[in-house]
């Protein structure tokens, strides 16, 4: 009798919405687990994450292409489905509906969400799943037929969300521009070199310890949220805020490349530490969302933080045990 095993496709399908929507507090438990919204989130995030991962594998590409596809996914979710890139009154946009708004686009919010989704909806869930299933990281996780189904589900969810989730209509021109940018990003991802060092090579330092990667992930995520939360409250022009976000991303990327031998020397323990550091900020933030709820029902976010903490601890423990076993062979 064949032993049942957990599918990496299922893990990624669930992990993407759990991180990007539930742990982030964008959809707290009272919303996340409502049947209709849960179906929509799984259809969007689960399908989107698997599609990005499978395209990267089919094209024999690497992290550059995956993150570019993550940026395209952000435009699908926030631009075409939720329309938060354009709606100045969208619930989560807040002051960013006026700060940096130009030509019908919430520019600061748009840049923020593109980076957020590329990393937290796509990049980190794929990284974690790869680490949990190292024996399957170079294999297809879904069949061609399932891939086509996922593409259809993502399309249907996007159209349904566009029609019924947010009634704001930005105009046909902005829809067309968003679709064109998605297509361009997919083409860029298709033809980018597979390795980051083939795009840019950074002078290497010695391989950093895992905790250094974890600290970098935490500090970078903290800086990302502070820039997007505090600078819009000051007289600083929106373009400066956008430049700060891009500069932060560039700084973090250069440091990751330098500390990892341009991506050739770091292992599972370094990668999982980086992801854990980034997620730790969301974990620490989650109880605050419940204790200071504002106008939203954020009950249960403390429990989400506790469960996420246990999950991160177990994941780190499992990686160390596996590496220790490999070193003994």
pLDDT tens for 16-48 read 999 999 999 999 999 999 999 999 999 999 999
- Which DSSP category does 171 fall into? -
**According to the model, what pLDDT value does residue 198 have?**
66
pLDDT at site 83: 96
pLDDT of residue 180: 98
Cα→Cα distances 271→53, 73, 136, Å: 17, 23, 17
* Parts of the chain with a pLDDT under 70: 1-5, 196-201, 204, 326-329
118: left (phi over 0), alpha (psi -120 to 50) or beta: alpha
Distance of alpha carbon 216 from alpha carbon 256, whole angstroms: 8
The answer to whether the beta carbons of residues 228 and 241 sit under 8 Å apart is yes
Using one digit for the tens of pLDDT, what is the confidence trace for 71-127?
999 999 999 999 999 999 998 999 999 999 999 999 999 999 999 999 999 999 999
274 Cβ neighbours under 8 A, 6+ residues apart:
127, 213, 214, 216, 217, 256
pLDDT of residue 261: 76
Contact present, 74 and 116 (Cβ < 8 Å): yes
């Amino acid at each position: 009798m064949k032993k049942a095993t957990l599918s990496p496709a299922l893990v990624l399908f669930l992990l993407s919405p759990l991180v990007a929507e539930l742990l982030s507090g964008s959809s707290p438990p009272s919303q996340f687990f409502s049947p209709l919204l849960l179906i929509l989130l799984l259809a969007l995030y689960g399908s989107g994450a698997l599609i990005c991962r499978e395209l990267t594998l089919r094209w024999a590409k690497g992290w550059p292409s995956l993150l570019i596809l993550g940026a395209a996914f952000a435009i699908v979710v926030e631009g075409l489905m939720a329309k938060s890139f354009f709606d100045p009154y969208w619930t989560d946009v807040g002051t960013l509906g006026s700060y940096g708004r130009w030509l019908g686009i919430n520019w600061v919010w748009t840049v923020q969400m593109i980076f957020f989704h590329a990393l937290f909806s796509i990049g980190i869930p794929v990284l974690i799943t790869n680490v949990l299933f190292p024996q399957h990281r170079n294999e297809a996780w879904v069949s061609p037929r399932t891939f086509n189904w996922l593409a259809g589900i993502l399309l249907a969810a996007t159209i349904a969300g566009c029609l019924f989730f947010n009634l704001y209509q930005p105009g046909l021109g902005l829809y067309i521009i968003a679709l064109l940018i998605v297509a361009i990003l997919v083409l860029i991802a298709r033809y980018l070199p597979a390795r980051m060092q083939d795009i840019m090579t950074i002078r290497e330092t010695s391989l950093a310890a895992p905790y250094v990667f974890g600290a970098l992930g935490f500090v970078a995520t903290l800086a990302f949220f502070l820039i997007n939360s505090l600078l819009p409250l000051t007289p600083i022009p929106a373009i400066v805020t956008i430049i700060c976000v891009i500069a932060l991303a560039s700084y973090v990327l250069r440091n990751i490349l330098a500390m990892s031998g341009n991506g050739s020397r770091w292992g599972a323990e370094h990668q999982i530490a980086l992801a854990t550091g980034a997620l730790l900020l969301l974990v620490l933030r989650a109880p605050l969302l419940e204790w200071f709820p504002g106008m939203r029902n954020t009950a249960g976010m403390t429990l989400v933080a506790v469960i996420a903490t246990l999950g991160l601890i177990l994941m780190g423990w499992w990686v160390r045990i596996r590496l220790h076993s490999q070193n003994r062979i």
